[in-house]
Amino acid sequence: MRNLDFEFVDSSKKASKEQTRRSLTYWKDAWRRLKKNKLAMIGLVGVTLIILFGVVGPWFMPYSYSDQDNRFTNIPPRFEIYAIADDGYVFLSSQYNLILVSEKGELLDKLVRTNMDAINKVYTYSYNGEDIEVDFKNRLLEDDGGIDLKVTYKGVTSEYPTKTVSNKTFVWGSDNLGRDMLTRVMYGARISLTVAFVATIVNLIIGVTYGAISGLEGGLVDDIMMRIVDVINSIPLVLYVILLMVLIDNRGLWTIIITLGSVYWVGMARLVRGQVLGLKEQEYVLAARTIGVSKAKIISKHLIPNTMGPIIVAMTMMIPSAVFTEAFLSFIGLGVSAPMASWGTLANDALAGLSTYPYQLFTPSLAIAFTMLSFNFLGDGLRSALDPRLRKG
């Protein structure tokens, strides 16, 4: 072949032969379809928000999860303030502590209670040497005549609250030790999400390895391995999580992670095995075998990458259930130890004071529900985006 047999083609002709549409890889295609799914995108935004909330949030907070302020215990996120002459505003907490607040809702100080007249329902507090009398009779009457409290200061009685303000010091209120709820819920997010993510990864590693080996080996090995899975599957797993937690008896973060991680891999193993059973008959696996690639390499280089879609879907679904299980364990008293708190612990702590301080339960509960909802939406979206059978174009 000599150069003379060929001639150069100018670039315009070359261009016309190029593909008009870029070919999409599996992942690009999946992402394209995921983007079209509104619910999935809401889920993705939600997941991002909750991760940011837990990871970045605490940096912006002036408190730590264990900072206590004994003056301001059980202060709700919103409260009614009463003007005391021109000297400021006060607010009576559910524990009958009189708190001096600014007009905007910043907590300034707790006033000293000098006298308690429990019979007439009048408490006296001292402020700058003057007495403030708080009469809460009407609060306890069936017919309160529209009046809640009567606050008397320097002879002036105010019967109606000046206004309702939001708590500026503790935006989500404070708990029974005067700790900031928002900060605690943020740290709770860290703990709950760490537990969920790490436990899911542990599950993933065990489940994928187990399933891949079982599926690839086949025959007797597969039979025995799947028999074991069947047995584990017929056990109510929550009980075993509890048993393991009791056994290890160390309320650390790692105990929960290890317990959750070691129990919930069965579903993943089944899923991967099913996929591998189909994939291992493919020609490329045969080709790899003929050139002597080891089984470990076939699994890690050929089989697992091709099952990534369903694995990711299963993972997104596993994370909310791990959050759920962790919350549940904390709720029955098997969670991380104080002063750290996961969402479940926070909810459990709030249970005792539910009727008086409901906000302490609402925030961690909402956080749990929000997380579960976001991950579920995302998982549903990923399932339809990654499953080739549901592909519509």
**Footprint on this chain of another protein (rule: CB under 8 A):** 226, 230-231, 234-236, 239-240, 242-243, 246-247, 249, 270, 274, 320, 324, 327-328, 331-334, 347, 351, 354-355, 358, 361, 365, 368-369, 372-373, 376-377
The tokens for 25 are 């890889």
When the beta carbons of 160 and 328 are compared against another protein, the nearer one is 328
Give the Cα separation of 216 and 297 in Å (integer).
Answer: 12
- Least Cβ distance, residue 211 to another protein (angstroms): 11
- Least Cβ distance, residue 293 to another protein (angstroms): 27
Give the Cα separation of 122 and 115 in Å (integer).
Answer: 8
- Least Cβ distance, residue 1 to another protein (angstroms): 58
Helix axes 237-248, 304-331, angle to 10 degrees: 70
Give the Cα separation of 236 and 39 in Å (integer).
Answer: 32
C-beta neighbour count of 175 within 10 angstroms: 23
Comparing CA positions, the residue from 301, 230, 296 lying closest to residue 269 is 230
When the beta carbons of 61 and 361 are compared against another protein, the nearer one is 361
When the beta carbons of 229 and 386 are compared against another protein, the nearer one is 229
Q: Read off φ and ψ for residue 78, nearest 5 degrees.
A: -130, 140
8 Å CB contact between 161 and 105: no
When the beta carbons of 197 and 324 are compared against another protein, the nearer one is 324
When the beta carbons of 85 and 390 are compared against another protein, the nearer one is 390
- Least Cβ distance, residue 333 to another protein (angstroms): 5
The tokens for 93 are 């907490």
Residue type, 354: L
CA atoms within 13 A on the CB side of 327: 25
What is the separation of C-alpha 228 from the centre of its chain, rounded to a whole number of angstroms? 32
When the beta carbons of 51 and 232 are compared against another protein, the nearer one is 232
- Least Cβ distance, residue 248 to another protein (angstroms): 10
Give the Cα separation of 321 and 192 in Å (integer).
Answer: 11
Query: Is residue 124 within a helix (H) or strand (E), and if so which, with residue range?
Result: strand 122-127
8 Å CB contact between 255 and 336: no
When the beta carbons of 185 and 347 are compared against another protein, the nearer one is 347
- Least Cβ distance, residue 61 to another protein (angstroms): 24
- Least Cβ distance, residue 348 to another protein (angstroms): 8
